[in-house]
Amino acid sequence: MKVLITGASGFIGGRLALALSQNTDYQVSVTGRSSAIKDKFLGTKVSVIQGDLLNMSVVEKAIQSIDIIIHCAGLAGTWGTYDDFFQANVAVTENLIKAAQGSQVTRIINISSPSIYVNFSNQLLIKESYLPETFSNFYAQTKFEAEQLINNAHNDALQTISLRPRLVIGKGDTTLLPRLLSLQAAGLLKQIGNGQNVVDFTSIDNLIELIEHCFTAPKSAMGRAYNISNGQSDKLWDVIDEVCRQMNIPIKRQKVPYRPIMALAKLNEKICGLLKLSREPKLLPVPVSVMANSMTLNIDDAREFLSYSPKITTKHSISEFVSWWKENNSL
């Protein structure tokens, strides 16, 4: 089976490509915009196509002889213009779908995000059908718009599915935990709120296992989106403290009240928007909400229709990350 993974420069796509390439049943190809993508997979069995997926010639080259596409590419973040996010998240998805239609591609597995749910309040056991009255930012909006394209493209010949994994962690994480650790080590991480907010994490190993299952999942399970997590909630600040302890980083930090910080973040977002600042402001509403509010997902549908049974716990994912980070990096 020939598999294409877009956005393999990132954590999820990169780990997935390396994992699948160890299985002789798969021939793995990846895409990435930066030339660093070639160095990342140097000496592996992974084939690399460097280029921008906004360019249809790059897309058409990438999907030649491909059976399944796992779409991880996209622009994440909390700041930027709608057009920036649209081009990276929606236009690229549309190009992949157009190229795949009428080709030998049989399935597209789209990696989406539960960021679409954010409504700046505590949210527990969210179902896939929930949508806020307005999206929290352009990232959330365009990830949902990309999902709609994926869902609408689903048919017998080209079966599609979207996965919404929450806070993916584990070996190879170069974004979520490293960013928090760096701030804590520098004394810049502040606890917003009472520290009792609960969240869901997703082990990268659980996610990889599920993605591979989606290659052969029943047709009846395709054509929709699924929440994904480890299936067990944790207090966010307890997890941060545990990672810090294992990394020998002091856990003492300043605590700040939620409401005034959120009000200040919203004001700052408006002012920076009016000034059309290109650099991402340090204080914005979505990061404040993520750090202070609870968000957990209902994964019953993934369990029922995809036979999803997460085996790796958040605790194990933390230990795996810490061991990997100590061997390969420094703060």
Convert the pLDDT of each residue in 43-67 to its tens digit: 999 999 999 999 999 999 999 999 9
- Structure token digits, residue 209: 């296992």
Residue 34, pLDDT score:
84
Whether residue 177 lies inside any domain: the answer is no
- For residue 239, tell me if it sits in a domain: no
pLDDT at 330: 60
Residue whose entry in the numeric block shows the structure tokens 């909630």: 233
Using one digit for the tens of pLDDT, what is the confidence trace for 247-275? 999 999 999 999 999 999 999 999 999 99
With 80 as the cut, is the pLDDT of residue 243 above it? Answer: yes
In the structure encoding, which two tokens stand for residue 207, read together? 């996610």
Q: 141 falls in which pLDDT band (50, 70, 90)?
A: very high
pLDDT classification of 36: cutoffs 50, 70, 90: confident
Nearest CA among 73, 89, 72, 82 for reference residue 143: 89
Q: Is residue 271 part of a domain?
A: no
Question: Confidence class of residue 23 from pLDDT cuts 50, 70 and 90?
Answer: very high
Degrees to nearest 5, angle at CA 9 with 6 and 13: 50
How many domains does the chain contain in total? 1
- Whether residue 146 has pLDDT greater than 70: yes
DSSP string over 192-206: ESSS--EEE-EEHHH
Crossing angle between the packed helical segments 92-100 and 138-153, to the nearest 10 degrees: 10
Structure letter (DSSP) for residue 78: S
Residue 176 lies in a domain: no
Residue 267 lies in a domain: no
Considering the domain boundaries, does residue 256 fall inside one?
Answer: no
Assign 3-state DSSP to the chain and report helix, strand, coil percentages, each to 5: 45, 15, 40
Give per-residue pLDDT as tens, 171-217: 999 999 999 999 999 999 999 999 999 999 999 999 999 999 999 99
The reported pTM is 0.96
CATH number, domain with residue 100:
3.40.50.720
Q: Which of helix, strand or coil describes residue 6?
A: strand
- Tell me what pLDDT residue 331 has: 58
**Domain range for 59:** 2-166+203-229+296-311
Assigned domain for 268 exists = no
Could you tell me the end-to-end alpha-carbon distance of the chain, in angstroms, rounded to an integer? Answer: 40
pLDDT score recorded for residue 301: 98
